[in-house]
Amino acid sequence: MSQGVWTAIIAVVVVALLGLLMRRSSVWPPSGTAPPPGEPPEDSVAAVEELIESLEGIPVAVTSDGWSFMPLADRDRVRLIPPLTPREMEQVVPRAGPDQLSRGDLIAARVRRGAPDHDPWRLEALGRDGEYRAWRFETEDAARAALALVSRSIVVAPRDEEGTEVMPGDADFIDARRREEEIERELASMPDVEERPDDPLR
């Protein structure tokens, strides 16, 4: 298993452990006896050990940039954990403020081949308003592991007037990507605005 994948697994386990400890402490009875300082509750440790065992042999959804897709216990959210620096790994402290996807944030998702030298495999998705979103992966297994997570917990297909699900198709993805590329071209062509002396944001 590559170093990048192990780093992602460590990040997942660390965040899971901290989440369990925070949730445990938030419901700890005021009159109860707290565990000794520095010792996590036994049920939290057991839950993390179970999580580690469940990860064995399962493809880890790690992007080409080192971000890992982590399912959360409520099954309605997926957390995107940034890669840990060597110092963070030594201190076992994940970077604050990871991105998060919640149920309904995506209306469709699929895996497609990309450019070999840029994104060998790509998880493409459509946001709530049909906007194009994509994550790059080095392997098909990693891309499909991410697809399985978002399909189960995040994707909610739109419905027509009769309440029937309307799954977006290839044309919707093509149109969304075309709009995204047009926006990128417009932004790239915009001239740099020189800073004015009276600029209140200066």
Rounded (10°) angle between helices 42-55 and 3-26: 150
Q: Which domain holds residue 125?
A: 3-189
C-alpha distances (whole Å) from 133 to each of 28, 76, 138, 164 are 40, 19, 17, 24
Number of separate domains in the chain? 1
Look at residue 147 in the predicted model and tell me its pLDDT. Answer: 96
Q: Give a yes or no: residue 195 inside a domain.
A: no
* Between 173 and 114, the higher pLDDT residue: 173
The whole-angstrom separation of Cα 186 and Cα 192 is 13
Q: Give a yes or no: residue 200 inside a domain.
A: no
Q: Give a yes or no: residue 107 inside a domain.
A: yes
Outline where 56-202 has alpha helix (H). 86-91, 140-153, 170-189
Q: Give a yes or no: residue 7 inside a domain.
A: yes
Q: Give a yes or no: residue 199 inside a domain.
A: no
* Between 140 and 24, the higher pLDDT residue: 140
Tell me the whole-structure pTM to 2 decimals: 0.66
